[in-house]
Amino acid sequence: MMKTIEEQRYREMLGQRRRQLSDFVGDRLHRHGLQVHAEAGLPRRDEDTDDDAAASAMRDADVSGLERAARELALIDAAMERLSTGNYGVCVNCGESIPAERLAAYPEAARCAGCQTALERKRPERRLYG
């Protein structure tokens, strides 16, 4: 069982990372001064370059960054839920404790290193630290 002080520390780490990701997403979607949510969207990037291929590559990078942020936000939300239910720091696969070193490096981790490695071997294209 995790001590309350440790739980609070992880809650703060997760909350800080969540705010960073939310700011990143907001910056990407509202970069051109669009304040209204309905008007927000990724920039076309045509004004950044006169090269269509470069503009397309920049748009792809924006989309990839947002996809990564969305996946990480989902992992953080799941970790915060585990904190609320008292299951944080326990591997969702084997039920063993996740070492503090792993949680310090990846506070959103849902699996111990062994179970995470096994998952990645099954699905190498999806390397998530959940």
Domain that holds residue 11: 4-122
Is 75 within the bounds of a domain? Answer: yes
Is 129 within the bounds of a domain? Answer: no
Per residue of the chain (130 residues), give pLDDT as tens.
567 899 999 999 999 999 999 988 888 776 655 554 444 455 555 565 566 677 677 777 767 888 899 999 999 999 999 999 999 999 999 999 999 999 999 999 999 999 999 999 987 665 555 5
pLDDT for 37 equals 45
The rounded distance, in Å, linking the Cα atoms of 85 and 58 is 41
Is 127 within the bounds of a domain? Answer: no
pLDDT for 42 equals 52
What is the pTM for the complete model shown? 0.72
Give me the CATH number covering residue 14: 1.20.120.910
Nearest alpha carbon to residue 40 among 62, 21, 73:
62
Is 130 within the bounds of a domain? Answer: no
Element (H, E) at 126: none
Is 107 within the bounds of a domain? Answer: yes
